[in-house]
Structure 1
């Protein structure tokens, strides 16, 4: 945890108040309680089932918050061993062991493996290192692989200096907001529009 950074915790739901361990160093920034509260006030404070994906999971804080608020299962992916160890610790602290899967893997490889299993998500958290500014491409990949449920919600956390488009094919931007040097952009997947876009592009190229 960075010097001066506040401890993070699960702020609502079944595991409310459970403290979450942070990844040492400055490469991983846990989402603050303030930003988490803002995120869940936008996407919905509680859930009635569904599977969530925390793709660049870091501490696992976002996925665990979703689980605490009613997501039936969460899949965590991170390629860093220390992060995965922290996620396992936090999952145990929250009491969520029976409802999660944790993978130490490159995000692209993980998506390919999950797609082969036919898993689809109703909620996706994309909180990568801030140097990565191509989350629109990852969203398109998730849709293209059939990994998103109708009306799935996708949350992108990014540097406030980066602006994501409100016109990504197949997605509707619900809201974008800044919280200091952090920004959150939230999308809703519109089932069928991705296929229609690809079909139109194919017709033009013929």
Structure 2
């Protein structure tokens, strides 16, 4: 999804994954698409990376999350993003998840603003609500 964002005009994109195989694939695809100059690729646990981004005052307009379906990391990651203030005021978090995983309409100060279902995959869109 990050490569798609870059190909449509995003200036910068961070890719975070704990799997070396996934990191290698991301890097190869960035080189093939000639978008590697606009990308930062990090092999680490996303919760650790959120801490580092917060310390460096990095903020995002869009955050796309696609955690492993079986690990059920969606809520923990959404809470961490909200608490870290790395999402800009009008930013959007896009969460891909298993349709069987039901996410609350409100998670801390985040509000569900849209929901789409595609077979076994669901996409939930969150924004910072009126806190």
Specify which of 30, 47, 66 is matched with residue 108 of structure 1: 47
Look up the match of 1:182.
121
The structural deviation recorded for 1:172 is 2.1
Look up the match of 1:31.
none
User: What is the rounded CA distance, in whole Å, between the counterparts of 2:10 and 2:83 in structure 1?
Assistant: 23
Look up the match of 1:167.
106
Structure 2, unaligned runs of 5 or more: none
Asked if 1:127 is matched to 2:66, the reply is yes
User: What is the rounded CA distance, in whole Å, between the counterparts of 1:167 and 1:106 in structure 2?
Assistant: 24
Count of residues in correspondence between the two structures: 131
Q: Secondary structure in 1 aligned to 2:25?
A: helix
Instruction: Give the greater-gyration-radius structure (CA).
Output: 1
- Runs of 4+ residues over 2 Å off in structure 1: none
Look up the match of 1:91.
30
Look up the match of 1:70.
9
User: What is the rounded CA distance, in whole Å, between the counterparts of 1:74 and 1:140 in structure 2?
Assistant: 21
Q: Is the 8 A contact 2:98 2:121 kept in 1?
A: yes
Cα RMSD, aligned residues only? 1.4
Residues 151-166 of structure 1 mapped to structure 2, 5 A cutoff: 151-166=90-105
Structure with more strand by fraction: 2
Look up the match of 2:18.
79
User: What is the rounded CA distance, in whole Å, between the counterparts of 2:73 and 2:42 in structure 1?
Assistant: 22
Structure 1, unaligned runs of 5 or more: 1-61, 194-206
User: What is the rounded CA distance, in whole Å, between the counterparts of 1:120 and 1:99 in structure 2?
Assistant: 16
